Chain A
């Protein structure tokens, strides 16, 4: 039997009435409780059914809307986006109206955005410096009559990971530097809340030719909420082209298949 307070949370969650903090807490509870998952799903279905209860409208969508939609879909080259495992969706946090928004909630996202900008600036500076060094080394090698080294940095792709749930007061930010030739990368994160004792963060890659997300290993966060680690997805076939990265919260020790909520995600 699910306690009444959790029932209430599940109902408010289904209707998008939980604020961002409460929604994240509830998702953690959900991830660990199959009975609550069933209950929450029932609540979501019941709330979706409210759309059927809408008053009948005199007209449906215009008859040419379908033509416009199909034309747009056909104009999109290739199949839909690659599968990125998504958490139970949360309706965008409500504007709050007369509700007083704490100062930190208003300022923190901007402060974090500034930190991210600075972080990207550092990455950009490093990138430019390494390019210069690379260029200089190539010049030196040419002078020594050796064949030039391949431009390694030109092969590296950068991917910014965004929080999967918007509106969190403390937004983690992450960047992946991915080397497709070696099928490995470097992950750097700031402002990531350390997981509970019975949980671990786990990184996943979405790769061409793989229907399921590929395990890229457990991610350990330091007390300051930072991560810097080299990772390599576990694929037997050498791996397909990587399309996206996702960081999820799993049971301690990790999982062979993504089951927990996605915390960060980004497309390459």
Chain B
């Protein structure tokens, strides 16, 4: 069984209400998810207008598919991230483009924060309608993930980032990094399992 964090439980309640046609719940869910999903779109496409268009489509998809969400299979956030990745990949393929990675994961400072010079929208806490508490939770979660990613060996981080943020198959990742396929698979597996273990430990 999986223990639900408070945020996961809140997301699930919101999505259950969205499935019943509750637009206020949808608005609240938008506030919670739009930031990280937009960042994901932007990182994969590299273009802000396109990232917004895709995010808009993803939001409608979440509205339409809310009744199909199965909490036994993933968290609401995991489900939304999956829908977003699929949408970005479909979108760019339909235009004959390859995915691009805008920037690698930021190096960590001592607090586990990214070292961007300007404030990110997460850190700004100024996303429309997002409560300060939600914002703090999101910042904490982002910092936690970045801290864990910063502790991964560089070659594992590189392999799982290419696997997650790009459209490359594992064969292509192997060719790009000049490493045997088995090595790439092992790096991806070890990297993701370390991330899983570390995140579980921090919960």
A interface list, Cβ under 8 A from B: 7-8, 11-12, 14-17, 19, 37-38, 41-63, 65-66, 68-70, 72-74, 76, 78-86, 88-89, 91-92, 94-99
For window 72-125 of B, CB contacts with A under 8 Å fall at 72-75, 77-79, 81-86, 89-90, 93, 102-106, 114, 116, 118-124
Which of B67, B142, B145 is close to A81, meaning CB atoms less than 8 Å apart?
B67
Closest 5 CB pairs of A and B: A56-B120, A79-B21, A60-B121, A83-B67, A48-B78
Q: For chains A and B in complex, what number of residue pairs have CB atoms within 8 angstroms? A: 233
Minimum CB–CB distance for B146 against chain A, Å: 5
Minimum CB–CB distance for B167 against chain A, Å: 6
B56 to A42, Cβ gap below 8 A?
Answer: no
Residues of B within 8 A of A88 (CB): 73-74
Residues of B within 8 A of A92 (CB): 86, 89-90, 93
Residues of A within 8 A of B103 (CB): 55
User: Is B199 close to A, CB under 8 A?
Assistant: yes
User: Is B68 close to A, CB under 8 A?
Assistant: yes
Residues of B within 8 A of A97 (CB): 168-169, 171-172
Measured in the bound complex, the distance between the Cα atoms of B89 and A60 in whole Å is 21
How many chain-B residues does the 8 Å CB contact rule pick out? 95
Minimum CB–CB distance for A204 against chain B, Å: 13
11 more A-B contacts (CB under 8 A) besides A55-B114, A66-B128?
A: A11-B192, A15-B192, A17-B163, A46-B196, A51-B40, A53-B146, A54-B36, A56-B106, A61-B52, A73-B23, A92-B86
Which of B42, B51, B67 is close to A80, meaning CB atoms less than 8 Å apart?
B67
Measured in the bound complex, the distance between the Cα atoms of B172 and A97 in whole Å is 7
Residues of A within 8 A of B186 (CB): 8
Residues of A within 8 A of B185 (CB): 8, 12
User: Is B14 close to A, CB under 8 A?
Assistant: no
Residues of A within 8 A of B105 (CB): 53-55
Measured in the bound complex, the distance between the Cα atoms of B89 and A79 in whole Å is 28
Measured in the bound complex, the distance between the Cα atoms of B27 and A38 in whole Å is 31
B188 to A50, Cβ gap below 8 A?
Answer: no
For window 13-45 of B, CB contacts with A under 8 Å fall at 18-21, 23, 26-27, 30-31, 34-40, 42-43
Minimum CB–CB distance for A7 against chain B, Å: 6
Residues of A within 8 A of B83 (CB): 89
Q: Which residue of A lies closest to B34 (CB)?
A: A61
B170 to A57, Cβ gap below 8 A?
Answer: no
Measured in the bound complex, the distance between the Cα atoms of B170 and A94 in whole Å is 10
A65 to B2, Cβ gap below 8 A?
Answer: no
Measured in the bound complex, the distance between the Cα atoms of B42 and A37 in whole Å is 31
Measured in the bound complex, the distance between the Cα atoms of B77 and A60 in whole Å is 18
